[in-house]
Structure 1
Amino acid sequence: MTTRVEPILVLTRDGAHAGERTIAIETAVAIEVNGIGYAVLMATPAALADLATGFLLTERLIDALADILDLDSFETPAGWIVRATVAERCAGRIHDRVRHRTSDTACGLCGVSGLEQVVRPVARRAPAPHTSATAVFLALDAIRAHQPLTAATGALHAAALCDTAGAIVAAREDVGRHNALDKLIGACAPGRLADGFVLITSRISFEMVDKALVAGAPLLVGISAPTALAVDHARAQGLSLVALARNDSVLVLNDPHHAFAARL
């Protein structure tokens, strides 16, 4: 299964209505090479053999398809495991790279070696947001003014802290969406993100929800779609979640504190 249908609340500047949306499945895929847990990727659970093969090639763990002696994948309750056996002449590269992987990636999970490490405990549930749909639309109207590097290059993501009225308090940009959010979290004093909401100019993946939860944000708003795992994580921890946020409408995927339900 690569998609599922979720009920949503569609907010516009004039009102709201209920609907549904097809969202993509995101799951943890652990790649083991010659018995060593090498990486965990967050991915769509389809064509996993192709994913693993491409990953091994681009990681320079193998030089050609012939270097893969065996490739097998299976599902577990925590996600998928793909086990690859590569030629003995390539084995030394695996040990060398494993020692360095925790510092060479921006995604936050590719350096994790086992599925059990993906979903880590969250210290506290997300607080209730004290904002409105109007504030979300105001923040969307204002975000471009806080993206100078994006305006110059068209190649960056942004993450912004917005106050309860929708004014942008702080914003950070980076070519990586995870990096942009990490920069914002690092720039804001502990607990400051609880005073408003976070707006990101990217899709909402599991990692983005997890970072927002760790930072104590009550509401995460993204201009692109969420994955199913992101929605599940937000629901499990009480994080209000708004996706596909545009200047004329937004989709509410999780509203545990009924901050937006009153618009119906």
Structure 2
Amino acid sequence: MTGPVTHWPGLSVQRDGQRRVLRSLPEETPVAMVFDGTTQAVMMASPQDLTDFAHGFAVTEGFIETLDQIEEFEIAEHETGIEARFWLSADRAEALAKRRRRMAGPVGCGLCGIDSLEEAARALPVLPETGPLLTSADVAGATDALRAFQPLHDQTHAVHAAGFLMPGQGIVLAREDVGRHNALDKLIGALALAGIDAGQGAFVLTSRVSLEMVQKTVIAGCPVLIAVSAPTAHALRQADAANLTVAAFARGGGFDLYSHPDRIQTGAFDVA
């Protein structure tokens, strides 16, 4: 399997002159998600932690609800890319029909290939009131703490990360990918395969909070989403309806709270 980093020569042209450089660049590889012999999606992804990626994708895109619905799984390499092959239990046939995908999904778009506007605006479950209680310090330092789990970023400065934060423990698990959606799917898959309950912590992202990031978080059962960048308005509407706590602009020792702030111990605060 191709490694996640390739070293590529180039010419750096700066104000003070030119020099030859050897840059560490992230690889991206076509990964086909194949369910019961049919390719449902082809995503461009970093070629690492692909078992985690496939399982997280299967959960967040509705192909499975629990891991015991997978009868067999394998990774198959080809000259043109990689297949993640699932064989599912018979009761998932209807889910396969509903979640048809016919297009290759580029890393910048987590909704490419769905068949209808209804699928893009799919109803989300409402998260329970129970879950973690985080301090302001937990949230304010979350994205800084995630930096220690980003070796691929340190090499390339061109990938995203998603981490799982638990109260009193910090970041306990993280995954990286050229695609922000892929990084989150990898994290969700890794948690599921490790038997870690996503409802006991928070997801931490190096990206903005878009609609599909909220959808994946809620479907995974995680009640808190922390991001270094901004949310979209539509993402916040869905987060509010699903009882998801969203903290954005989490950097420089502070953050903004936009929905369901009771899971964060902030003292006096004013949430618009």
**TM-score with structure 1 setting the length:** 0.58
Paired with 1:185 and 1:103, the residues of 2 have a C-alpha distance of: 21
**Any stretches of 5+ residues in structure 2 without a counterpart?**
1-99
Contact 1:137/1:166 (CA < 8 Å) preserved in 2? no
1:194 aligned counterpart, secondary structure: helix
1:236 aligns with 2:241: yes
Paired with 2:105 and 2:234, the residues of 1 have a C-alpha distance of: 25
Number of aligned residues: 166
CA change 1:102–1:247 in 2 (3 A) is same
Q: Deviations over 1:155-213 (max 9, x none)?
A: 00000001112511100000100000000000002662111111000000000011000
Aligned pairs (5 A) from 1:1-264: 101-106=102-107, 107-127=109-129, 128-165=131-168, 167-189=170-192, 192-257=197-262, 259-260=264-265, 262-264=267-269
Paired with 1:191 and 1:115, the residues of 2 have a C-alpha distance of: 33
Contact 1:191/1:215 (CA < 8 Å) preserved in 2? no
Paired with 2:263 and 2:188, the residues of 1 have a C-alpha distance of: 26
Quote how far apart the aligned CAs of 1:100 are. Answer: 7.0
Contact 2:203/2:222 (CA < 8 Å) preserved in 1? yes
Identity %: 43
2:250 aligned counterpart, secondary structure: coil
Please provide the CA RMSD for this pair.
2.1
**TM-score with structure 2 setting the length:** 0.56
Q: Deviations over 1:99-157 (max 9, x none)?
A: 97345445331111211111223244254431111111332332111000001100000
2:123 partner letter: P
1:135 aligned counterpart, secondary structure: helix
CA change 1:234–1:153 in 2 (3 A) is same
Range with bigger deviation, 227-236 or 253-262: 253-262
Paired with 2:255 and 2:128, the residues of 1 have a C-alpha distance of: 21
Paired with 2:104 and 2:166, the residues of 1 have a C-alpha distance of: 33
**Any stretches of 5+ residues in structure 1 without a counterpart?**
1-98
Contact 1:129/1:240 (CA < 8 Å) preserved in 2? no
Contact 2:226/2:247 (CA < 8 Å) preserved in 1? yes
Paired with 1:196 and 1:232, the residues of 2 have a C-alpha distance of: 22
Contact 1:136/1:166 (CA < 8 Å) preserved in 2? no
1:257 aligned counterpart, secondary structure: helix
Contact 1:162/1:169 (CA < 8 Å) preserved in 2? yes
CA change 1:195–1:153 in 2 (3 A) is same
Larger Rg over CA atoms: 1
Quote how far apart the aligned CAs of 1:231 are. Answer: 0.5
1:194 partner letter: G
Q: Deviations over 1:203-258 (max 9, x none)?
A: 00000011000011110000000000010000001100000111321000112536
2:225 aligned counterpart, secondary structure: strand
CA change 1:126–1:221 in 2 (3 A) is farther
